[in-house]
Structure 1
Amino acid sequence: MKPALHKGQLIRWNDNRGFDFIQPHDGSQKVFLHITALKDVNRRPQVDDFICYQLTASKDGKVRACNAYIEEVQSKSLSSTAPKKSISKTVDKSLSLALQTLLLSLLPGLGSIHLALTTGNPIPLILYPVMSLITFLLYADDKSRAQQGGWRRQEKTLHLCEFMGGWLGAFFAQQKLRHKSSKVSYQIVFWLIATLHIVFWLDWLFFGKALINLFLGIVSRG
Structure 2
Amino acid sequence: MRLAGRITDWNDDKGFGFVVPTGGGARAFVHINEFQRGSRRPLVGDLISYFPVVDARGRTNARQIRHAGQKMEVPRAPSRVPRAALGLAILSAGVAAAAFDLLPAVLVGIYIAMSVVSYLMYRSDKIAAQTEAQRVPEANLHLADLLGGWPGALVAQQRFRHKTAKQSFQMIFWATVALNLVVAAWLLRSGMFAEWAGRIGG
- Kept in 1, the 8 Å contact 2:128–2:134? The answer is yes
Output the TM-score relative to the length of structure 2: 0.59
1:30 aligns with 2:41: yes
Q: Equivalent residue for 1:155?
A: 138
SS at structure 2 position matched to 1:45: strand
- For residue 196 of structure 1, the aligned residue among 179, 185, 188 is 179
1:45 aligns with 2:61: yes
Map of 1:101 onto structure 2: 87
Question: 2:57 matched to which residue of 1?
Answer: none
Which is further off, 128-137 or 103-112?
A: 103-112
Matches within 5 A, 1:112-191: 113-116=101-104, 122-191=105-174
Shift of 1:165: 1.3
Asked if the contact 1:111/1:201 (under 8 Å) is kept, the reply is no
Superposed structure 1 runs of 4+ greater than 6 Å apart:
33-36
Cα RMSD, aligned residues only: 4.3
1:79-128 residue CA offsets vs partner (Å, 9 max, x unmatched): xxxxxxxxxxxxx99xx655322444466553795342xxxxx4322211
Structure (1 or 2) with the greater helix fraction: 1
Query: Separation in 1 of the partners of 2:127 and 2:32?
Result: 19
The code of the aligned residue for 1:131 comes to M
Partners of 1:111 and 1:201 in 2: CA distance? 15
Q: CA 1:103–1:200 in structure 2 vs 1: closer, same or farther (change >3 Å)?
A: farther
Task: Please state how far the C-alpha of 1:155 moved relative to its aligned partner.
Answer: 0.7
Distance 1:189 1:160, change over 3 A: same
Which runs of no fewer than 5 residues in structure 2 stay unpaired? 1-11, 21-26, 55-59, 193-202
In 2, are the aligned partners of 1:108 and 1:197 still within 8 Å (CA)? no
The answer (yes or no) to whether the contact 2:121–2:141 under 8 Å persists in 1 is yes
Q: Which amino acid aligns with 1:11?
A: G
What is the TM-score normalised by the length of structure 1?
0.54
